Amino acid sequence: MNKRHKNSLVWFRRDLRDYDHAALHAALYESQHVFCIFIFDKEILSHLKNKNDRRVEFIWESVRELKESFLQKKSDLIVIYDSPEHAISYAINLFNIDAIYTNRDYEPYAINRDEKIQKIALAKNIAFYDFKDQVLFEKNEILTALEKSYTVFTPYKNNYLKKLSNTTIPRFDIEPLSQNLAQFKYAPLLSLNDIGFKKTNLHDIKIHTGMSGGKLLAEDFKERIAHYKKTRDYPAIKGVSYLSVHLRFGTVSVRQLIRLAQESLSEGAETWLNELIWREFYFQILFHRPDIAKGKAFKKDYESIPFENNLDYFKAWTEGKTGYPIVDAAIRQLNETGFMHNRLRMVAASFLVKDLLVDWRWGEAYFAEKLIDFDLSANNGGWQWAASTGCDAQPWFRIFNPVTQSVKFDPEGKFIKKYIPELKDCLAENIHAPWLAKETQKFDYPGPVIDHPTQRTKALALYKSCKS
């Protein structure tokens, strides 16, 4: 068969796998020789102040696995630490590339970066193709009857499910085309040190990286998916999938996960599919409202809530020392592992905004720095939901009671004790509000920084003052 291109370049970004991959599939189908590249983007990495960043190590490990997989096929993965403009231009010249293939990314920085690369390609008379891969439905594929983007989840979900029922989820089978991978050998992989980073506790906390890690977690979750609805809200129970970091870096294929949910035919699977749809909902929100990436509230009324922004409270929150065990255990889980259970993300975010009266943007930035699965759209969506400033958010007058949430979702305090060893001998009846315990049950643990009922009243007044 006559191929459209002689030498193509597939640029991997947040799609670190070599199976069911839209751009790689298209390149292999249309090209004689396919070269693959991953760029450690100097611009992005220079903004990460903490050089012990679990995400960078996760990416590095996943890139290592991807490179090994290409090496086994007598091909290679070109890995460069530079700006995308330099790295792509270098690869174009070195391998006489006549087409670039990549999967689309919907974050404003990425859109801007890709426009620059398209310009370079155009100037050199090189084709540039991008593909939908990160989501099942993107951009304007799910719109209201008036052709507007959705701002409320339920009708979006209903439309999504309708479209899904009429769609055959594509499979981008790589194996039958892999003979078109260019047979070549590039340099050995740069070390973490070479890109200015250090090893973290990723292995100690047993975070499985790369395609193999994603596969392992997906298989493990398949056995539990039917129970998801009943168990997903309890942080002490292994009820959720823990796949978010793999969805973030594309070490799993979202199409395969949606298929997994469809095939499982259980109430749990239905609920889980809902969560994958929330993910896509927030992607399309960010695509249509890129201003939210610059600190703008989704709802204009709540753009300038006069938060108190008490620095001592914020510090106590970031250190897991607010005196509210469920909030502190959640933050300590985040600090120690880079993960936080979804129920606790909601509780911790609500507590920061509506109890400590600190701007949600501070919390959003803190999560962005610490979360291993940090995704701009979901993180912003989650924070604006908790702060009642977002699309389809928690109503402003609904304020989580941190003690009630703790009683309900960690009844025996198992999760709390895991992350707050100071409370290991605390009785279950005292663990949710240890300051109320009798003298015989006192611990080396801070008292509450605030009084919830008092702060609740203040928060309600603050929000009320913003309503137009």
The site for ligand FAD (CB under 6 A) is made up of 232, 240-244, 247-248, 275-276, 278-279, 282, 342, 345-346, 349, 367, 371, 373-375, 378-379, 381-383, 386
Cβ proximity to ligand FAD: between 99 and 378 the closer is 378
135 in Cβ contact with 258 (< 8 Å):
no
Q: CB of residue 253 vs ligand FAD: minimum separation in angstroms?
A: 13
Q: Residue with CB nearest ligand FAD?
A: 382
Cβ proximity to ligand FAD: between 100 and 243 the closer is 243
Report the DSSP beta bridge partners of residue 208: none
Q: CB of residue 344 vs ligand FAD: minimum separation in angstroms?
A: 9
Q: What does the alpha-carbon distance between residue 36 and residue 8 come to, in Å, rounded to a whole number?
A: 8
Cβ proximity to ligand FAD: between 29 and 374 the closer is 374
Instruction: Please state whether 164 falls in left (phi above 0), alpha (psi between -120 and 50) or beta.
Output: alpha
Cβ proximity to ligand FAD: between 365 and 460 the closer is 365
Q: CB of residue 10 vs ligand FAD: minimum separation in angstroms?
A: 24
Cβ proximity to ligand FAD: between 75 and 251 the closer is 251
Helix, strand or coil, per DSSP, at residue 296: coil
What residue has token string 């799993």?
252
Three-state secondary structure of 189-226: CCCCHHHCCCCCCCCCCCCCCHHHHHHHHHHHHHCCHH
348 in Cβ contact with 340 (< 8 Å):
yes
Ordered DSSP codes for 258-317: HHHHHHH-SHHHHHHHHHHHHHHHHHHHHHH-GGGGGT--SSGGGTT------HHHHHHH
Please report which residue ranges of 387-422 form alpha helices under DSSP H: 402-409, 414-419
Cβ proximity to ligand FAD: between 210 and 381 the closer is 381
Amino acid at position 126, single letter:
I
Q: Retrieve residue 439's tokens.
A: 């003298």
If one counts every other C-beta atom within 10 angstroms of the C-beta of residue 61, the result is 21
Cβ proximity to ligand FAD: between 250 and 382 the closer is 382
Residue 45 makes CB contacts below 8 A (sequence gap 6+) with 56, 81, 195, 196, 197
Q: CB of residue 463 vs ligand FAD: minimum separation in angstroms?
A: 18
Q: CB of residue 14 vs ligand FAD: minimum separation in angstroms?
A: 12
Q: CB of residue 311 vs ligand FAD: minimum separation in angstroms?
A: 21
Q: CB of residue 278 vs ligand FAD: minimum separation in angstroms?
A: 4
